[in-house]
Structure 1
């Protein structure tokens, strides 16, 4: 059981790190609260790994106090994982409106003098194969003469101009980014709650073990 808990802790850590890495590419488009869940999973994953080792020592030594302490830690961890999981599902409801507002705002700031926003848009358009908020036409406000950011034309040479009349990405970034963020929000929720159930089983198992050890002491 302790090995399973250690593996689950490692799994939580890895999933949290992956989601954090994905979200970090879109920092300019996401509210800070979206980073709480992944960071919480990373912290919980580390704690679970350490606590599982502590519980293993308690079981080997048949130490009643260590097992009870282990159970309490697991219960606290279960609460944190449940909170992280619920956060993922709750934030999913805010994705569309948040992204639409942030994409519309930052698209007007694209260009010289706003390197971070420009880089964020280029990364997104390259990674997701998209262009503009709802489509390439959205760039008409920021780009004259039907020009587009070069990241809208991934197959075009760097010395060539990207415009509406050459081959370019035709889908908007809002639907693509929304699908990506919602997917990872669901993963965050599923992993947090799913592995939290495993931790709860661990609490029950540890309590039964502690009760058994206590009975042995009383018998002796």
Structure 2
């Protein structure tokens, strides 16, 4: 005799049968058009592709901010590359990483053996940090927006008073 299953388990099984995952062999953009809403995996894939395109701009003219951002992220989060340190091999066309990937910084340490480099993916490290600090990041964003709105309100009030005074004396 089969044991009775809880009703919740039956509902969960039914939901799993109805909500099938898209075929990942298809182009992500085609799946997005079919379903109308991106999954977390699709969002992660797009973000990683864009970040890898950004790696190609590392240490190029006019991109000092991007170069500094990657150096700071890799040093602070103790990671290397978007997915791993091999992302940099395509950028430099050789087995090399930026010095910010090194566990112990020294000049040209990115040319040495992979044993001296961080192995973790920066994308996952930063994503986990954002998830862990989502409340703080959200509060910071709201406070920044509030300061902007208050500043605009005061600026508009001062402008209206100046126009009113100018009209009065004219």
> TM-score normalised to the size of structure 1?
0.39
Q: Which has the higher helix share?
A: 1
Higher radius of gyration, 1 or 2: 2
Structure 2-normalised TM-score?
0.49
